[in-house]
Amino acid sequence: MPVTVRSFAKINLGLAIGPPRPDGYHELRTVYQTVALHDVLRLEVARGSGITIRSKDPRVPTDRTNTCYRILELGRDLLKVKGNVVLEIEKHLPVQGGLGGASGNAVAALLALERAAKKQLPGPERLRIAAAVGSDLPLFLVGGTSLGVSHGEEVYPLADLPAVTCVIATPEIGVSTPKAFADWDARMAAAEGGKAEKLTGSAASDRIEEFGRRLSVWLNGVPTKKAERPSSGVPAKGRGRAETQLLDLVRTGIANDFEEVVFPQHPELRDVKRVLEQSGAMYASLSGSGSAVYGLFRSRQEAEQAARRLVKTGIPAQATTTLTRAAYWKQVLG
């Protein structure tokens, strides 16, 4: 019997890009939030040897370029699994960037392998191999709302916020993440009034430090128990606590820096954000480097209307909800 797991998507509730590092990555700060859209993965260890990846979706690579392949290779060796690891990916998530779909698949595949092997890697070991495969993997070992630091691979769980309705739009536009980072560097260099080679990184450092301060203020206002302390920031007149806490967070001003370089190149993404705002989104933003754009809504009805409005203009969009850490773990392994 194959092991079946769900592999969820994420959005970024703000993302501040810091200076480029000697290792080729950029220092960053972001808040990841898992959402309920998901793929289904089935894994079994069959006779023979190797790693076999199958998917009916032709956009899913079945060779070593698939992040699942790389993590399964590492996991198989560490767990001492003998046989042919066969993984089938039932794709429901958009393949468009910004939602961490491939990264989530890889983590779910590792968890499925552990279950099939009836063994578990120690938590820090899981995080280490996830980070070795990609910056966006470790967040899926935490789930819910989490803070990403370093190049995004170092993750810390934040308060588990109640679920909020959201719309995820996935315009069929490819955004290159490395290029978006390079464009950001050029922008920061210009802001410093110097040439790239004179980049001191101070403008970029200021941004991530400011992100940290804003997040700290928000965390200080998050109730530790129900109805204990009021959340800080935006007054929450007439609103439920669920949307208040998440809204307080996004309204601290922790914007996604990628918007500043991605929107001028793909103005249609800015238009998608506007449609979400005009349709009643309390907050809308690019996720990661895009092209996914999301909006947070007060009600399912409003969200579904917004999604329909986008779909009518040819933009794929779905209404869903954010996923708490508790719900995430309950549903990943189901």
- Judged by CB under 6 A, the residue of 138, 152, 233, 288 near ligand C5P is 152
Helix ranges (DSSP H) in the chain:
67-79, 101-117, 123-133, 177-191, 202-221, 241-250, 258-265, 267-278, 300-312, 325-333
Task: For ligand C5P, give the closer residue by CB, 100 or 295.
Answer: 100
Checking 155-160 for CB contacts under 8 A at 24+ apart, the result is 155/32, 155/127, 157/325, 158/31, 158/219, 159/219, 159/222, 159/224, 159/245, 160/324, 160/325, 160/326
Site residues for ligand C5P, window 164-203 (CB under 6 A)? 177-178, 181
Active-site residue identified among 56, 57, 118, 136: 136
136 is catalytic: yes
Query: Is 299 in contact with 261 (CB distance < 8 Å)?
Result: no
- Residue 154 interacting with ligand C5P (CB under 6 A): no
Compute the distance between CA of residue 169 and CA of residue 98 in angstroms, rounded to an integer.
10
- Residue 135 interacting with ligand C5P (CB under 6 A): yes
Residue 44: how many other CB atoms lie within 10 Å: 18
Site residues for ligand C5P, window 282-321 (CB under 6 A)? none
CB of 134 to ligand C5P, least distance (A): 4
183 is catalytic: no
Computed on alpha carbons and rounded to an integer, the radius of gyration of the chain in Å comes to 20
Binding residues for ligand C5P, rule CB under 6 A, total 12
Main-chain phi, psi angles of 160, to 5 degrees: -80, 100
- DSSP of 171-192, one letter per residue? -S----HHHHHHHHHHHHHHHT
Compute the distance between CA of residue 82 and CA of residue 43 in angstroms, rounded to an integer.
14
Residue 256: closest CA among 104, 9, 31, 82:
31
Stretch that binds ligand C5P, among 128-136, 184-192, 212-220, 306-314 (CB under 6 A): 128-136
Task: For ligand C5P, give the closer residue by CB, 164 or 292.
Answer: 292
Task: For ligand C5P, give the closer residue by CB, 257 or 302.
Answer: 257
CB of 32 to ligand C5P, least distance (A): 13
Site residues for ligand C5P, window 28-57 (CB under 6 A)? 28
- Judged by CB under 6 A, the residue of 6, 76, 126, 151 near ligand C5P is 151
- Judged by CB under 6 A, the residue of 98, 100, 134, 171 near ligand C5P is 134
In degrees, rounded to 5, the angle at the alpha carbon of residue 329 between the alpha carbons of residues 148 and 75 is: 75
Distances (CA, A) of 114 to 76, 123, 232, 302: 9, 12, 41, 40
Q: Tell me the per-residue interface mask from 241 to 280 with ligand C5P, x by CB under 6 A, - otherwise.
A: ----------------------------------------
- Judged by CB under 6 A, the residue of 4, 19, 25, 40 near ligand C5P is 25
- Judged by CB under 6 A, the residue of 5, 6, 10, 26 near ligand C5P is 26
Task: For ligand C5P, give the closer residue by CB, 138 or 295.
Answer: 138
Task: For ligand C5P, give the closer residue by CB, 36 or 106.
Answer: 106
Binding residues for ligand C5P, per CB under 6 A?
24-26, 28, 134-136, 151-152, 177-178, 181
By annotation, the residues acting in catalysis are: 10, 136
